Amino acid sequence: MATDAHSGTPGGSIDEPVSIESETHLEDVTAAHDVVLVDFYADWCGPCQMLEPVLEGLAGETAAVIAKVDVDEHQQLAGAFGVRGVPTLALFADGEQVEQHTGVLPADRLRDLIEGYTE
């Protein structure tokens, strides 16, 4: 288990990022929540580190669940989503992937992206 972020996960809103442990776990999270923003990241990635506090803030401020996938730990999962660079953000709505962006996006752009699917 990577972090304790998902061990105490309540059934409703999740106010902090969830560490994804497997492809099945990702499928469960995207199926269980209306809107999920998945951050494919690497610990060594500078832009990923810059994005982390932004995503933590969005987890608390928006209706979306923020999920994190370590591409070094889960190379096959990252490959299945066509991740070629980090950070890559994939947005799921109603269990289906609706958007994917590579690179750091500003907090207001991410908030607008999420709110486009939560309102």
What sign has the CA pseudo-torsion 61, 117, 22, 12? positive
pTM confidence score: 0.88
In a domain, residue 69? The reply is yes
In a domain, residue 3? The reply is no
How far, in Å, CA of 86 to CA of 102, rounded?
7
Dmax (CA) of the chain: 35
Asked about 95 being catalytic, the answer comes back as: no
In a domain, residue 34? The reply is yes
Residue 31: which CATH number?
3.40.30.10
Q: Which of 5, 20, 36, 48 is catalytic?
A: 48
In a domain, residue 2? The reply is no
Residue 30's domain comprises 18-116
Asked about 62 being catalytic, the answer comes back as: no
In a domain, residue 8? The reply is no
pLDDT digits (tens, 9 = 90+) for 27-70: 999 999 999 999 999 999 999 999 999 999 999 999 999 999 99
In a domain, residue 5? The reply is no
In a domain, residue 7? The reply is no
Q: How many domains does the chain have?
A: 1
